[in-house]
Chains A and B, each alone.
Chain A
Amino acid sequence: MTTKSGKEIPSINIKKCNSCIVCIDSCPVDCLSLSLTNKGINGHKYPNLLNENSCIGCGTCALDCPVDAITMVARAA
């Protein structure tokens, strides 16, 4: 799940996510942000990887997510 290589990025499963923003706080380089989606009850914001280039692939967000809604996946080539 956690990688030091920087070759992976977080993939956020919105169905599992509960908007608790732990991942936003955990990210050491602030590459996650909140945005509105249409999922579930109206009005809740969910995390979103805004800029792949700023992500260092450390996996801290996935590690800290209390409900395992984030997995680290390979970057697109």
Chain B
Amino acid sequence: MGYGYMGKVLRVDLSSGEIREEEIPEKVYEDYLSGIGLGAYMLYQHVPPDADPLGPDNMLGFVSGLLTGTGSLFTGRWMVVGKSPLTGGWGDANCGGTFSPAIKRCGYDGIFFTGISEKPVYLSIAKGKAELRDATDLWGKDAVETEEILMETAAGAKTARVACIGPAGEKLSLIAGISNDRGRMAARSGLGAVMGAKRLKAIVLSGTKKIAPHNRDEMKRLSKKCNKWVQFQPPFITGPMTSYLGALLRLLPTQMVQDGLLYKIMLRKWGTVSMNQASVEMGDAPVKNWAGSNKDFGPKKSLPVNPDVFTDCEVVKYHCYSCPLGCGGICSIHNKTGGAFNESHKPEYETVLALGGLCMNEDPGSIFYMNELLNRAGMDSISAGGTLAFAVECYQNAILTKEDTDGLELNWGNTEALVSLLKKMIAREGIGDLLADGTKKAAERLGLNARKFAIHAGGQELGMHDGRNDPGFNLHYSVEPTPGRHTTGSWLYYEMFQLWKKVKTVPKIGLFGMIYHKDKKYVADETKAEMGAACSKYMSLLNGAGSCMFAAFMGAPRFPMFDWLNAATGWRKTPEEYMEIGRRIQTLRQAFNVKHGINPIDYKVNSRAVGLPALKEGANKGRSMDMEKLMKGYWEALGWDTQTGKPSEATLRSLGIQ
């Protein structure tokens, strides 16, 4: 066996109850790393093209990262992979906390489930023994309650780590996710519903296996160097002042190539909520179901959700495994939620904007409350917020009536109605049953007029980053095998990754790599396609290594992933060779979609989000972009067919994909 990875996976057939180990050839790690790459390798082989995502043939995998536990920093992310019931194609979701090393400490790089259990079960691995246990008594309990009970009853040598679903997954909501560490969520792609369909309530891991890097001294040397950048923390401005930072970025005609060290400083101070107001002001955050702008949700209106509001009730910073940054936090929310909950994870930027500006909701207490409701239910806050905003707009246009909503008056910013509607979605009661599967499914049932209000790509609601401000987001929403995701690439991400300083084959941007005119962002040219392809390849690597995207924002010279990978495994690969691994992972995920009947062009993002029609006011006034040209350029840059988006035979052959 090599170094850094464990060399095997656990296979669990929930129909028969059979549990067995499977050795993974070393070449698989060299070709795909671990994490999402290993997941793609397994699913491409084992999920038949006609598999129902909620049926027994679908495979659900929980994978750790190649760098997890090797002495690297920022590498505590795990992923869940499976055929998505939300999009019908490749699905994945990513989460931090402490679950990723727990997979490897049990001796595996991944745990893969097929089949459907007759009754609710959970998988327990403790003292080297894996077994399925009855979870009938846990069915119906929320994610936090479930975790608490299982932590108490688990009998391992180590404190157990738990991943589980809440009621949303049990009720097969197609926007359900999987929770670990008391409400951190692997939220996207609706894979909580796959877990629910398999009647798998939880996974409980308690292991003490060693994870051996090839060169521990070199791992530490790299980590110490990286850590110095993380600890660099000058004093910064106050929360409300961030809105003016956003306004400045909006007003300047030119833009500096952004250095993510600034964002690192903001993350460490506030977490992801640091961008709440700045994003609205610069046109990055969508408002009023993507039909509004910063004019509708300006600095005064968004003041109640300024970053300081969230850190003011933060009791302690929260660090994921191997993270020196600590962008998370545990908040005391007793007063903010009328005594309903005592504490919760600090809401993320995505959650605040999806439940805030997108619905014109300016009440922070309701956001804390809904955030905890969603975490406990195991439901994706991005998709839930997107669906709430969709419902409000349908109501405003008489597609939904007061009779349909059981008397709820779905007006913009009506906090009480939004909270009530969310509870209905979680419980699948009344109109909530229609909305619990996201905007696309709801619009299909509500008719043609509702479709233009369903803002999604390939069935998945978009992250809270507006592609009319940064078209790179629209590109990745549209071309990724998992559509609608904000965690792969954008022009801003490309700037912050600073890949050109480490990889010879990617373009350098800006005059002397420093400054450019903003109008250039909206030109669909070859450089943009290459930037998009580079982001996808790089993020595939990060997701194979188990790395955090926020660390990559510090820039490739400060976040030494390529060097860590070599030191952990003993390989001597160049950054260019690693990027080719990234292309292989991305291509295999796209090949999975093609195998499963997805037409890549169908993932193109909703017209409104592209700027068709263009907004008449605000930061993104008049902006739109030729998405098809951009998509075709991206496909070409990855060696995929420029007309269909399918990986060409020559590309598949050259990458060794069969």
Tell me the A residues contacting B by CB distance below 8 Å: 18-22, 25, 28-30, 36, 41, 43-45, 60, 63-64, 66-68
Contact = CB atoms under 8 A, between A and B. Distances in A.
Interface stretch (B110-118, B215-223, B394-402, B431-439): B215-223
B86 to A, nearest CB: 32
Contact of A66 (B157, B219, B231): B219
Nearest to A66: B223
A29 B156 CA distance: 10
B316 A45 contact: yes
B230 interface: yes
Given A19-B319, A22-B69, A25-B321, 15 more contacts: A18-B73, A19-B324, A20-B322, A20-B323, A21-B98, A21-B319, A21-B322, A21-B323, A25-B102, A30-B158, A44-B317, A44-B326, A64-B69, A66-B220, A66-B322
B224 A30 contact: no
A18 B227 contact: yes
Given A18-B231, A25-B98, A66 B224 contact: yes
Nearest to B320: A21
B316 A36 contact: yes
A63 B216 contact: yes
A68 B319 contact: no
By Cβ-Cβ distance, the 9 closest A-B pairs, closest first, are: A18-B324, A66-B223, A43-B317, A28-B208, A44-B317, A20-B324, A25-B101, A19-B319, A20-B322
Interface in B203-233: 208, 210, 216, 219-220, 223-224, 227, 230-231, 233
B314 interface: yes
B268 interface: yes
B72 interface: yes
B647 interface: no
Contacts of B98: 21, 25
Contacts of A36: 316
Interface of B: 69, 71-73, 98, 101-102, 105, 157-159, 208, 210, 216, 219-220, 223-224, 227, 230-231, 233, 268-269, 314-317, 319, 321-324, 326, 329
24 contacts: A18-B73, A18-B230, A18-B231, A20-B73, A20-B321, A20-B322, A21-B98, A21-B321, A22-B69, A22-B321, A25-B321, A28-B158, A41-B233, A41-B269, A43-B316, A43-B317, A44-B316, A44-B319, A45-B316, A60-B210, A64-B69, A64-B71, A66-B73, A67-B220
Nearest to A45: B316
Contacts of A45: 316-317, 319
Nearest to A30: B159
Contacts of B159: 30
B560 to A, nearest CB: 12
DSSP majority for the A interface? Answer: loop
A70 to B, nearest CB: 12
A67 B224 contact: yes
Nearest to B228: A67
B314 A43 contact: yes
B577 to A, nearest CB: 25
Contacts of A60: 210
Contacts of A19: 317, 319, 324, 326
B227 A22 contact: no
A32 B283 CA distance: 45
Given A22-B321, A43-B329, A67-B227, A28 B157 contact: yes
B155 to A, nearest CB: 13
A30 B105 CA distance: 14
B220 A68 contact: yes
A35 to B, nearest CB: 10
A63 B158 CA distance: 18
A33 to B, nearest CB: 10
B227 to A, nearest CB: 5
Nearest to B216: A63
A30 B268 CA distance: 28
B119 to A, nearest CB: 32
B216 A22 contact: no
Nearest to B98: A25
A17 to B, nearest CB: 9
B470 to A, nearest CB: 30
A58 B231 CA distance: 29
Given A20-B322, A20-B323, A28-B157, A66 B317 contact: no
A64 B158 CA distance: 17
